[in-house]
Amino acid sequence: MGYNLVIDQGNSAAKVAVFQGDEFVKQWRYDVLDPSRLEEIAALYKPDVAIYCSVACRGEDIIVTLRGLCRKIYEMTSLLPLPITIGYTTPVSLGRDRIAAVAGARAIYPGRNVLVIDAGTAVTYDVLTADGEFKGGNIAPGLWMRAEALSKFTSHLPYVDTETPGDVPLWGTDTRLAIKCGVVRGIVGEIEYYSSLMPADSIVVLTGGDAVRLAEFVESEVEVDPLLVCKGLNSILLYNEQN
């Protein structure tokens, strides 16, 4: 069985993964994805097919490079056949990474209600029903964005790094700690709130760059899967190859 090359170009970084069938092989993370990186990976694994998903620019140089490396390329859009149904009224405006994350949840937890939380530059809360429908979801600012907004739109509040590990007590005892606690625990509160609205047998899965950071403060049961978007992209690739 050949290898699949999966590319998830986010707002802050690109994740590149190799799968063999539905089995994860390896992942790389790049602040800037240069086509030469794909050529290096292709030299090692000789991928047969690839799927490219970008929430930023289209990346013509990446697409051109992939065409020279693989037999077939899938570009992730709302028009690509999907293993889930979309209940969103404006599917064209629906984030491609959000679709991929929900498709990943469907592949891992078939027949289950799932709340998919992707904590990155923004935090998205998306609902997958047991019968495979992307019901909808909400979008909120992420850790960095909240901290940046407090600094940018006030006269005296400093910028505080809320993404690095460290103690986050319930209440801050100085201004910097108050910002840190307010930002981190604010998102944790959102996670707990949306989780409480799901059916009792639901799975809550947390992914994205800040998933591990936030999970340590969440008291309800959550699954952490940093590879969820890549797994979803691979499941979409396999779905298209088989249909």
Which residues does the annotation mark as catalytic? 97
User: How many angstroms separate the CA atoms of 91 and 76, rounded?
Assistant: 13
231: left (phi over 0), alpha (psi -120 to 50) or beta: alpha
Sign for the CA dihedral angle at 137, 142, 146, 152 comes to negative
Q: Which two tokens stand for residue 182?
A: 């307010």
User: How many angstroms separate the CA atoms of 52 and 61, rounded?
Assistant: 12
Residue 237 host element (H or E) = helix 228-242
User: How many angstroms separate the CA atoms of 194 and 56, rounded?
Assistant: 27
User: How many angstroms separate the CA atoms of 25 and 19, rounded?
Assistant: 5
User: How many angstroms separate the CA atoms of 160 and 179, rounded?
Assistant: 7
